[in-house]
Chains A and B, each alone.
Chain A
């Protein structure tokens, strides 16, 4: 048979898949006719900048073929050998240890359906819970908010709130400074690429490494933008305890504060501006409230401690003269502040009191006139010229979700009121009742952050069944030995894991259901567009590309698509018709999504289906509307930020805070939690509960920094793509084992006798992990850098919590403590460890 070519899309970009004799032989960036690209041009500083007529994938997507054929695929339905629900022998304590036997699909589905019926009957639907992982697949119909949610909503289940794990501090902090709760605390990104190229003179990347985080879902599309900023003569300064990849490539200066002391550094910068009189007083008067309190605090009138560069030097370890020089340059140049790739995704907000620094970051820009040409908060991973008038739903949009989309005849909502919180799942199982404040993703109102929750609800059952779809949390959540223990609790009578690959949690399931990848089924989706609170996310791509994701090969082994698995289960539970919306096949859904989008106005279904993609052009008369320029100029919001509830109302000139202005003293916090010392109405420098100056540092003197990985996406790809094991920044093989990398400064390595390539043990009271050492000056002394998100959890004694992990899940070591008392975000970068040479 000759070679066939199919279009598809991944979390790191759209691809063309070449298939011969039913096997994938090659994966390339999607092949698009040159004339279908309509590249925009930005003219700035006498130069013209225009993107290539090409798609730039994230590097790991080039391994997609090996990932599909990985040995680590979940191949057949499996049952844990010592799990026998009929006789009541569940042996839950053996989860993580016991072997599995292969069973038929019928047997597996019968067990799952019978257990669901039993549990609902005995305890009520509250006793069922489940949660998905993020981004192992891509596609609107078959992915994250698709079949799993529609099925579980119909069944009724205790929904688990996600925490905004990648941008906690902006969510729990910056919202109270400048609003944007509808973007979970990240500022709107519109047209900031153009504004930066045209008007900025400096970019300060503070805890921001866009070359590692790949514009999140936008592959390598924005890589070239940063080279343009160089060509436009813009100076680039990096503040990070690790000399990150972007700093290494384009940085003019690297400033390395101690981990978790960014707030002190920010306050000292404000001090220099106050002292030098180099801030925008008029703007502060008209656009902000409470500045005088902040000024008094910075100048030390409140606590007799002026926040001078000398004061900050003692805390953050950056010489005072460097702080002063940075502050002076910042004030004299139009400066963009980049706090992470989607404007708020950095490591400095994933640690103790991270909300304080996030608010201070907003304040620094406010002191320089946030919204002024060249003065913005731009992650540098979004904000290309963008056709926002063209509608295509992302998977997290109301119209993208299979339960609520206009593509469905019948919408389905979850009738169960009881809730859980992901970060507290282990406590909920091991030590209920639990309480917390905040709805996880608080994207509909500021008040959601203050809502109190209790689990279990009075008169309702605790959860007894856990339906896990994906399996990454041991590598991504905090203090994850807690998850091992929760999984082994007899209270969880039944655990299902449904995934395409074996992940860190798979081995804790009673029944494993093998799902196929998105190369083995049909779908439709847009490159880089998750929708939801990341509205217009595909402005991180150079071209908006909507892809008809084609089934390239039959599902491998005995895997099935998620939609088919849930259809078969729904049939056994008597609600197949509701689940399938009257018998829709996957392809019927794909067509319906096509129909509710703007695609039919531009291309016929037949043409789209045969071509496999549509490139949405930016109109010829495109008018740029840079982020927050309207606010700066006192106009009503003119950006396409459609989730902004004040836009197009009489309050259109206002921000999303209570006052409509930037709040140095937060009115929302004053109103709801005025006495909170850990997140006071006005932000402060609060020493970390686990940081360089805490007593624990005597026992565990090194600070573990574990940002998002560069060569894999979350836990995806990693060991599922063996090629990545040959990239020395990712894993390194030694004695036949592929170890996760930990970086350490020569000054810390030497007294511990650690040399390049040694196997080392990273440990503290919360666990121990083996890694391979890279000795490098890229770390600040005292800092150990090792990415989070290993997919491999490989304890030396399987099934034993606190056993030493060889796989590289450094999250085992992180603390479960939250950002602060009332801000339930995770703080993995507040983590002290010791490290020594491992001799087996």
Chain B
């Protein structure tokens, strides 16, 4: 089996936290536990404020094995408001990365 991963196109992530809540709802995580967490990075450079939102899978992310084994997308990918998350093999995803300005690839187990 090839390694699977999540590609996040954070050029377009809106920081809406839907992936976070969708993951929680899918896995019934108790308070204080999340499969994925949205981070906000602010950089202030010569009068310009740049903000990036980057969702970051945690220890609790199992890549939605129970969903993907049935051919469904991981919950966070399905719910993403901006269609900026992708699920696939690391090989596939890294190809997508080549043409995108701002992406990160996660490969949790």
* Cα-based distance from A248 to B13 in the complex (angstroms): 10
Q: Are B21 and A62 in contact (CB under 8 A)?
A: yes
Q: Are B42 and A778 in contact (CB under 8 A)?
A: yes
Contacts of B34 in A (CB 8 A): 726
Q: B36 contacts the other chain (Cβ, under 8 Å)? A: no
Interface-side segment among B24-32, B57-65, B92-100 = B24-32
Q: B91 contacts the other chain (Cβ, under 8 Å)? A: no
Q: Are A248 and B53 in contact (CB under 8 A)?
A: yes
Q: A582 contacts the other chain (Cβ, under 8 Å)? A: no
Contacts of B32 in A (CB 8 A): 726
* Contact for A243 among B18, B24, B49, CB less than 8 A: B49
Which B32-76 residues have C-beta < 8 A from chain A?
A: 32, 34, 40, 42, 44, 49, 51, 53
* Cα-based distance from A29 to B22 in the complex (angstroms): 10
Which A723-757 residues have C-beta < 8 A from chain B?
A: 723-724, 726-727, 729
| Chain A 238-272: CB-based contact to B (< 8 A → 1; otherwise 0) | 00000101101100001000000000000000000
Q: A361 contacts the other chain (Cβ, under 8 Å)? A: no
Which A767-794 residues have C-beta < 8 A from chain B?
A: 776-778
With contacts A211-B16, A245-B14 known, is A223 near B21, CB below 8 A? Answer: no
Q: A398 contacts the other chain (Cβ, under 8 Å)? A: no
Q: Are A223 and B44 in contact (CB under 8 A)?
A: no
With contacts A211-B14, A245-B14, A777-B49 known, is A227 near B21, CB below 8 A? Answer: no
What's the minimum C-beta distance from B48 to chain A, rounded to whole angstroms?
A: 8
Q: Point out which of B17, B22, B32 has the most chain A C-beta atoms below 10 A from its C-beta.
A: B17
Classify the interface of chain B: helix, strand, loop or mixed.
mixed
Q: Are A52 and B49 in contact (CB under 8 A)?
A: no
Give the size of the chain B interface in residues (CB under 8 angstroms): 27
Q: Are A62 and B12 in contact (CB under 8 A)?
A: no
* Cα-based distance from A777 to B53 in the complex (angstroms): 15
Q: Are A59 and B25 in contact (CB under 8 A)?
A: no
Q: Are A223 and B16 in contact (CB under 8 A)?
A: yes
Nearest A-chain residue to B20, judged by Cβ: A727
Q: Are B21 and A60 in contact (CB under 8 A)?
A: yes
Contacts of B42 in A (CB 8 A): 776-778
* Cα-based distance from A57 to B83 in the complex (angstroms): 13
What's the minimum C-beta distance from A741 to chain B, rounded to whole angstroms?
A: 12
* Contact for A220 among B15, B16, B20, B25, CB less than 8 A: B16
Nearest A-chain residue to B12, judged by Cβ: A227
Q: Are A249 and B14 in contact (CB under 8 A)?
A: yes
* Cα-based distance from A251 to B92 in the complex (angstroms): 30
Q: B81 contacts the other chain (Cβ, under 8 Å)? A: yes
Nearest B-chain residue to A253, judged by Cβ: B48
* Cα-based distance from A52 to B18 in the complex (angstroms): 17
Q: A63 contacts the other chain (Cβ, under 8 Å)? A: yes
Nearest B-chain residue to A212, judged by Cβ: B16
Nearest A-chain residue to B26, judged by Cβ: A26
Contacts of A59 in B (CB 8 A): 16-18, 20-21, 81
Q: Are B15 and A245 in contact (CB under 8 A)?
A: yes
Q: Are B16 and A63 in contact (CB under 8 A)?
A: no
* Cα-based distance from A27 to B40 in the complex (angstroms): 27
Contacts of A62 in B (CB 8 A): 18, 21-22, 24-25, 79
Contacts of A57 in B (CB 8 A): 18, 79
Nearest A-chain residue to B39, judged by Cβ: A728
Which A30-59 residues have C-beta < 8 A from chain B?
A: 52, 54, 56-57, 59
* Cα-based distance from A827 to B75 in the complex (angstroms): 41
Contacts of B82 in A (CB 8 A): 223-224, 227, 249
What's the minimum C-beta distance from A604 to chain B, rounded to whole angstroms?
A: 31
* Cα-based distance from A246 to B14 in the complex (angstroms): 7
Contacts of B26 in A (CB 8 A): 26
* Cα-based distance from A667 to B22 in the complex (angstroms): 52
What's the minimum C-beta distance from B47 to chain A, rounded to whole angstroms?
A: 10
* Cα-based distance from A724 to B16 in the complex (angstroms): 12
* Cα-based distance from A57 to B31 in the complex (angstroms): 22
* Cα-based distance from A224 to B18 in the complex (angstroms): 14
With contacts A52-B83, A62-B79 known, is A254 near B12, CB below 8 A? Answer: no
| Chain B 1-22: CB-based contact to A (< 8 A → 1; otherwise 0) | 0000000000011111110111
Nearest A-chain residue to B18, judged by Cβ: A59
* Cα-based distance from A29 to B73 in the complex (angstroms): 14
What's the minimum C-beta distance from B41 to chain A, rounded to whole angstroms?
A: 10
Contacts of B51 in A (CB 8 A): 243, 248-249, 778
Nearest B-chain residue to A64, judged by Cβ: B25
Contacts of B31 in A (CB 8 A): 722-723, 726
* Cα-based distance from A56 to B18 in the complex (angstroms): 10
Contacts of A722 in B (CB 8 A): 31
Contacts A/B (CB < 8 Å), 27 sampled: A26-B25, A27-B25, A57-B18, A59-B21, A62-B22, A62-B25, A65-B25, A211-B14, A211-B16, A220-B81, A223-B81, A223-B82, A224-B81, A227-B83, A230-B12, A245-B15, A245-B16, A246-B14, A248-B51, A249-B51, A249-B53, A254-B49, A726-B32, A729-B15, A729-B17, A776-B42, A777-B49
Q: Which residues of A contact B (CB under 8 A)?
A: 26-27, 29, 52, 54, 56-57, 59-60, 62-63, 65, 211, 220, 223-224, 227, 230, 243, 245-246, 248-249, 254, 710-711, 722-724, 726-727, 729, 776-778
Q: A29-B79, A52-B83 are in contact. List 15 more A-B contacts (CB 8 A).
A: A26-B26, A27-B25, A54-B78, A57-B79, A62-B18, A62-B24, A62-B79, A65-B25, A243-B51, A245-B15, A248-B15, A249-B12, A710-B16, A729-B40, A777-B49
Closest 7 pairs (CB-CB, A-B): A248-B51, A59-B18, A220-B81, A62-B21, A223-B81, A249-B14, A777-B44
